[in-house]
Structure 1
């Protein structure tokens, strides 16, 4: 039987107005590190990755974009997992002090968990969560739990 190879998500590209402010945000709030930078005429292109995931998934930030203005009910966002509820609280506190907290920590039923929202300098919404079945602090998936109990 032949193996089916599906596409794999490797990067997300953002065209931003203030490249330096966005680089600082994703470094300071998300722990992302610059892994690549190049110039193409007036365009600066920077790759950011979480430590240890440099070959797995990157944000590509490019200068020359416009600020994003999302509607009040537009919930599109990037999601980052944190290791605890206390880490969500601490990040929300820092974001509040920095003036970029969108919504304070709240708890929702599984699979949403405990989370807060922050706005990056370009207007993108970023969620920081604990308790979702995603990320390094996630427990086994419901399918794994079910197969282990059989």
Structure 2
């Protein structure tokens, strides 16, 4: 087995392609980098600017709503550059009616985060201070005393 494997994409079937594309554009800053249409399906590749060769979401129409309960914590995680940025996303999500987890602080390594529901029912976390992304250095310094 190869130890050099790395994750490159996540593929999701969605019920409303346009709504999901808009959600990931508006809340995550992603953009469509490839799209193709056939007589039976639309497939959109989305990525964060500058990360098009690193990691993408592949959205395919023809899915079902997930209907996850509020206490189901499976999610996609996006790092933000400050606690204030988490608060802004949460306020935007509350106005849009898609906030599921209000901003909260958790011990390391979780940090400060909130959670949204995308139009297909997937949960999307926005965090600051996790060991992956902005704010990680501050927590690393705390660990080292």
3-state DSSP class of the match of 1:24?
helix
Post-superposition Cα deviations, 1:67-121, rounded to whole Å, max 9, x if no partner, equal 1112343210000000000000011000000000001100001100000010000
Q: 1:85: which partner in 2?
A: 83
1: CA distance, partners of 2:139 / 2:39? 46
Aligned length: 142
Q: Does the 8 Å CA contact 2:9/2:55 hold for their aligned counterparts?
A: yes
Structure 1: stretches of 5+ with no match in the other structure: none
How far is 1:40 from its partner? 3.3
1:101 matched residue in structure 2: 99
Residue equivalent to 1:15: 13
With normalisation by structure 2, the TM-score equals 0.91
Deviation readout 1:23-68 (Å, 9 max, x if unpaired) = 0000000000100001233110000000000011000000111111
Q: Is the 8 A contact 2:82 2:134 kept in 1?
A: no
What TM-score, normalized by structure 1, do the two folds share? Answer: 0.88
Shift in Å, 1:137? 4.3
Superposition pairs for residues 60-79 of structure 1, below 5 Å? 60-79=58-77
Partner Cα separation in structure 2 for residue 74 and residue 87 of structure 1: 24
Q: Is the 8 A contact 2:109 2:131 kept in 1?
A: yes
Q: Considering only aligned residues, what root-mean-square deviation do their CA atoms show, in Å?
A: 1.9
* Residues 95-134 of structure 1 mapped to structure 2, 5 A cutoff: 95-134=93-132
Larger radius of gyration: 1
- 1:71 alignment partner, SS class: coil
